[in-house]
Structure 1
Amino acid sequence: MSDTPDERRRAVALAYQDPSAAPVVVAKGYGDLAERIVSTAKSDGVFVHDAPELVALLMQVDLDAQIPPMLYQVIAELLAWVYDLEREEASLDSESEASPRR
């Protein structure tokens, strides 16, 4: 029995470089390609969020295309959450560097 695309792992990578434009789908795939997308993101220190419903919607967006307006709010909330996590991590790192070593 072979896996259908709906049964296999899926992954989508977004890039958000221009604050005046919507994020762009820069990679997407199923199965082994999805695993490579996730692995590459993790090894590059990129946050990986597991949201199957959102991925299903993003899989419908063409490569190098901006996300559709109906996804702006959810992606904005996700990006804000990721930025908050990164700030907290940076704050914890700077606090640990400032602490005297024993």
Structure 2
Amino acid sequence: MKDVTKNPDAPDIDASAVALAYDGKNAPQIVAKGHGELAQDIIATAKEHGVLVHEDQELVKVLQRIELGSDIPKELYIIIAELIAFSYVLQGKFPDEWHNIHQRIDLKS
């Protein structure tokens, strides 16, 4: 019987990644994408810069089909907006309209 235990330090050759940029004015844009080692580099760079890394195999499959440098399609606005909003909350950024709601959210737990 062959040992198929994966080395945890080995790069994930099946990995896929897509990086989005959002300026707050225009639709989010595909700024990097790749598979295997390139995907691992994209993920590592994002983590090094404190960028939210969200794992969703189905979403990455859809985003991989979009041309590099293109805006995301309108069909993805809601899911991407939710991820961007979540990343803002994780960073302690809240809309002005929330006033005191941020004092009721315990981000340390």
Provide TM-score, normalisation by structure 1.
0.75
Give the structure 2 partner of residue 65 of structure 1: 70
Aligned length: 82
Please state which structure has a larger fraction of its residues in helix. Answer: 1
| Amino acid in the other structure paired with 1:78 | L
Q: CA RMSD in A?
A: 1.6
The gaps in structure 2 that reach 5 residues or longer are 1-12, 94-101, 103-109
Once the two structures are superposed, residues 12-70 of structure 1 have per-residue CA deviations (whole angstroms, 9 ceiling, x without a partner) of 000001x3310000000000000000011111111111111111110011001000010
Match of 2:28 among 3, 23, 28: 23
| Amino acid in the other structure paired with 1:43 | E
Q: Percent identity?
A: 48
* 2:48 corresponds to 1:43: yes
* Aligned structure 1 segments of 4 or more residues deviating by more than 3 angstroms: none
Provide TM-score, normalisation by structure 2.
0.70
